Amino acid sequence: MKAIMHTLMLSCTKATELIERKSMDGLTFTDNIRLSMHTAMCSACKQYAKQSLLLNSAISQHLNEVPENKTKKKSILESQARERIQKELEKNLKKE
Amino acid sequence: MSAEANKIFNPELWVQKYGDDLYAWAFHRTGKKVVAEDLVQETFLSALGSMEKFRGDSNEKTWLFSILKNKIIDYYRKAFVKYEMNESRMQPDHKETSFLNHFFDKHGSWNKSQRPSNWHDEEDNLLDDEEFRQILKLCLNSLPENWFALINLKFMEERKTPEVCKELGITPSNLWVIMHRAKLQLRACIEENFLD
């Protein structure tokens, strides 16, 4: 039964591929329908789709949010690095 | 330096005023102290070189941050290219098939042990859950370097696929394949660590 289904419909492999692609760049009309049909029938891929979107938001939040807003201590420049950078900056300033 | 540039900019004060903020961002984005320090230095030097071109449509800090962000993009672009080359020296086709075989059987259905469970994310707002965010960070950092670089490039400020592809010299197809694999691995890692 499973084998027959998968010749007519998307495999979960393909479905998860389309789920990712859809969230980034959208799908063709046909692929959209095929994916909808698959997730309507496949609870695993329905979960995957939900989680994939959640992860996209979570990744975006993680990569784009400014660290200083968190309650954790903010990383700061070590004094050695600070001095080194200041010196380098001043050296190049003098060239102006 | 022109009189206008002199009025707006005070490079001598940059390290003092913005050094920590720029470093915090660079360290957050790369996870590496030395890399972050270098990126901050490069940002200041780059800014020095382009002060004349600055049109004054934002403030000093915003402008410096935009330079830093471009430096970070460069950093990940180079990382991707470097690790992608290492990858392709191994046998790519074999690797790809066996990767998917971990998740899906020969019919392309989920392997029983890999089927996504319910995360109950309607009830608990996972995006605000500190434990979830820590696990996300850990799982992201445990991805292969080239996948991690691509994720950074794609998700940083919601950049579009064509732009990212052009920078890396890959096709949208290549990008989708990598993202598919990366998300499969990431999701599995998170589920494994988050659900007890």
pLDDT at A3: 57
User: Any idea what the Cα angle at residue B73 is, between residues B172 and B15, rounded to 5°?
Assistant: 170
- What is the crossing angle of helices B11-30 and A79-94, to 10°? 130
The Cα of B85 is separated from the nearest Cα of chain A by a number of Å equal to: 24
Any domain includes A87: no
What CATH fold (topology level) applies to the domain B3-71? Rna Polymerase Sigma Factor; Chain: A (1.10.1740)
Half-sphere exposure of B6 (CA within 13 A, CB side): 4
Is the per-residue pLDDT at B2 higher than 70? Answer: no
Is the per-residue pLDDT at A57 higher than 60? Answer: yes
pLDDT at B8: 67
As a whole number of angstroms, the distance between CA B53 and CA B160 comes to 27
| Residues of chain B contacting residue A74, judged by C-beta atoms under 8 Å apart | 20, 24
Q: What average pLDDT does this structure show over B63-82?
A: 94
pLDDT at A26: 96
Is the per-residue pLDDT at A36 higher than 50? Answer: yes
pLDDT at B7: 58
Domain that holds residue A26: 1-63
pLDDT at B94: 54
Q: Tell me: the pLDDT tens digits for A70-96?
A: 555 678 888 899 999 999 999 988 875
pLDDT at A96: 55
Any domain includes A31: yes
Q: Is B129 on the interface with A (CB under 8 A)?
A: no
Q: Is A92 on the interface with B (CB under 8 A)?
A: yes
Is the per-residue pLDDT at A4 higher than 60? Answer: no
Please give the backbone phi and psi of residue A28, each rounded to the nearest 5 degrees, phi first.
-70, 160
CA B119 to chain centre: 25
- Closest-approach residue (CA) in chain B for A22: B176
Is the per-residue pLDDT at B109 higher than 50? Answer: yes
As a whole number of angstroms, the distance between CA B169 and CA B133 comes to 32
Candidates B10, B12, B23, B131: best to mutate against A (most CBs of A within 10 A) is B23
Q: What average pLDDT does this structure show over B59-88?
A: 90
Cβ separation of B12 and A24 shorter than 8 Å? no
Q: Is B184 on the interface with A (CB under 8 A)?
A: yes
Lookup result for tokens 């001043």? A90
Is the per-residue pLDDT at A6 higher than 60? Answer: no
Any domain includes A78: no
Q: Of B117, B109, B139, B153, give the one whose Cα is nearest residue A51.
A: B117
Any domain includes A2: yes
What CATH fold (topology level) applies to the domain B90-194? Arc Repressor Mutant, subunit A (1.10.10)
The Cα of B108 is separated from the nearest Cα of chain A by a number of Å equal to: 5
Q: What average pLDDT does this structure show over A39-53?
A: 96
Give the residues across from B62 on adjacent strands: none
pTM of the model: 0.85
Any domain includes A59: yes
How many distinct structural domains can be found in chain A?
1
Is the per-residue pLDDT at B177 higher than 70? Answer: yes
What is the overall mean pLDDT for chain A? 86
The Cα of B101 is separated from the nearest Cα of chain A by a number of Å equal to: 10
pLDDT at A69: 47
Any domain includes A55: yes
